[in-house]
Every structure is written in C-alpha cells, then in structure tokens.
Amino acid sequence: MHELSICQSIVNSIQEEMAGMDPRPKRLISARIVVGELRQIVPEFMQNAYQNLTKGSDIEGSQLEIKALTIHGTCEACGWTGPLSKDLCECPSCSSSKLKMEGAMDLYLDNLEIENYVTPEA
C-alpha cells in the first residue's frame, strides 16, 4: 500500500523534470524507475497507482517502466565482490557476515522518453 505514496513522489518528480525541459516536450511516452531488490515494491500495485495518479494530468497515458536493480555485494573479510541474492547474508566465498550491500534500497527516476514538438525545418 505504500506504493501509492511512493508513486505520488514519482509523478511529482516527472512533472518537475518535464517543466524544467527546454524546449518544452510535447508529451511523455514513458518513464523508467530503478528499484533496489530489498525495496518491497509490488510492480502491479505501482502500475495501478501510476494509472490512477496520472489520470487527467499532462502525463496521462504514459508508461511506467520498473527496472529491478541487483544488489552488489562486497565482503569486507575476503574482498569478494559480485551480485548478491537478497536472501543471502553471508559471503558466498568465505561465509563471513561482513557483507556490504550496495543498491539494495535504491529508488530513483532513471530515464524519461519524451516526444518532441516537430520544429519546421529552416
């Protein structure tokens, strides 16, 4: 259910970015967000929230693309680095629990695909 409040922040962020673009874009085709694997975001709920929150706005009809980000692990004991499964809390190489996780809780707006106004050629 927290998807709705996070989605409001997505919509606000997209609209802020769009408003700051020069020249002004004609419309938003799609927006991509990146979500760390430990974030408990249900893509279906997020899509529904996006449809509802954009209804009647200047970005109605645009698509939301949700990209999952794999956790990057670094072992502070043996120096191993690599992709980490979210339920793995021990180093796959030396079994130490001194693992540093990167990207697990990331949540950011990554890319906007926009349609431009066609400018008449000079």
46 is a site residue for other proteins (CB under 8 A): no
CB 94 within 8 A of CB 10: no
Binding residue (CB under 8 A) for other proteins from 9, 52, 63, 85: 9
Q: Which two tokens stand for residue 70?
A: 């794999």
Query: Which residue has 């802020």 as its token pair?
Result: 16
- Compute the least distance from the CB of residue 55 to other proteins, in Å: 20
**Which residues, 68 to 107, sit near other proteins by CB under 8 A?**
86-87, 89-90, 97-98, 104, 107
Q: Is 121 in the site for other proteins (CB under 8 A)?
A: no
Phi and psi at residue 12, to the nearest 5°: -60, -45
Q: Are 44 and 86 in contact (CB under 8 A)?
A: no
Q: How far is the CB of 94 from other proteins (least distance, A)?
A: 14
Whole-angstrom distance, CA of residue 24 vs CA of residue 63: 19
Q: Output the smallest distance, CB 81 to other proteins, in A.
A: 19
